[in-house]
Amino acid sequence: MAVRYELIKECKQSGARLGRLHTPHGTIDTPIFMPVGTQATVKTMSPEELKEMHAQIILSNTYHLFLRPGHEVVKEAGGLHSFMNWDRPILTDSGGFQVFSLSQLRNITEEGVSFRSHLSGEKLFIGPEKAMEIQNALGADIIMAFDECPPYPAEREYVQASTERTYRWLKRCIDAHQRPNDQALFGIVQGGMYQDLREESAKKLVELDLPGYSIGGLSVGEPKDIMYEVLGYTTPLLPKHKPRYLMGVGSPDALIQGSILGIDMFDCVLPTRIARNGTTMTSQGRIVIRNAKYARDFTPLDPECDCYTCRNYTRAYLRHLIKADETFGLRLTTYHNLHFLLQLMQQVRQAILEDRLLDFQEEFMVRYYGSTNPVTAF
Ligand SMILES: [Zn+2]
Cβ neighbours, 10 Å, residue 119 = 11
pLDDT tens-digit readout, 103-157? 777 899 999 999 999 899 999 999 999 999 999 999 999 999 999 999 999 999 9
Q: Is 12 left (phi over 0), alpha (psi -120 to 50) or beta?
A: alpha
**67 inside domain:** yes
Segment 169-178 shows an average pLDDT of: 98
For 337-370, what is each residue's pLDDT tens digit?
A: 999 999 999 999 999 999 999 999 999 999 999 9
pLDDT at 169: 98
Interaxial angle between packed helices 195-207 and 224-234, expressed in degrees from 0 to 180 and rounded to the nearest 10: 40
336: in domain: yes
- 378 in a structural domain: no
Q: Which of 268, 297, 324 is the last residue of a domain?
A: 268
- Among the candidates 234, 268, 302, a domain finishes at 268
Same domain, 253 and 344: no
Q: Looking at residue 314, what is its pLDDT?
A: 98
- Measure 133 CA to ligand 1 centroid, in angstroms: 40
What's the number of domains the chain is made of? 2
Confirm or deny that 149 is annotated as ligand binding: no
Q: With 60 as the cut, is the pLDDT of residue 259 above it? A: yes
pLDDT at 8: 98
Q: Are residues 354 and 255 in the same domain?
A: no
At position 346, the amino acid (one-letter code) is Q
pLDDT, tens digit (0-9, with 9 covering 90-100), for 55-108: 999 999 999 999 999 999 999 999 999 999 999 999 999 998 998 888 777 899
| Whether residue 143 is found in the same domain as residue 103 | yes
Residue finishing a domain among 239, 268, 297: 268
- Counting residues of the chain whose pLDDT is more than 90, the rounded percentage is 94
Whether residue 355 is annotated as binding a ligand: the answer is no
pLDDT band at 375 (very low <50, low <70, confident <90, very high): low
- The answer to the question of residue 48 being in a domain is yes
94 is in an annotated binding site: yes
Same domain, 347 and 255: no
Centre of ligand 1 from the C-alpha of residue 333, in Å: 8
Distance 282 CA to ligand 1 centre (A): 8
Q: 53 C-alpha vs ligand 1 centroid, how far in Å? A: 10
Residue type, 132: M
Same domain, residue pair 42 and 190: yes
Confidence band of 377 (pLDDT split at 50, 70, 90): very low
The verdict on 264 and 312 lying in the same domain is: no
pLDDT attached to residue 133: 98
Consult the annotation and say whether 307 binds a ligand: yes
Same domain, 203 and 328: no
Strands 26-30 and 17-23: antiparallel
147 annotated as a binding-site residue: yes
User: Dihedral through CA 90, CA 95, CA 96, CA 102, nearest 10?
Assistant: 120
- In a domain? residue 377: no
Q: Please check whether residues 250 and 310 belong to one and the same domain.
A: no
Overall average pLDDT of the 171-198 stretch: 98
235 and 286 housed in the same domain: no
Least confident of 18-32, 113-127, 170-184, 199-213: 113-127
Query: Which range of residues forms the domain containing residue 353?
Result: 275-369
Please tell me the pTM assigned to this model.
0.97
For residue 32, pLDDT over 60 is answered with: yes
Q: CA of 241: how far to CAs of 72, 189, 267, 313, 323, in Å? A: 35, 17, 21, 44, 48
Distance (angstroms) between ligand 1 centre and the Cα of 308 equals 6
CATH number at residue 40: 3.20.20.105
Which residues are identified as catalytic?
93, 267
What pLDDT score does 1 carry?
Answer: 85
336 in the same domain as 245 = no
Alpha-carbon span 34 to 296, nearest angstrom: 34
**Is 82 contained in some domain?**
yes
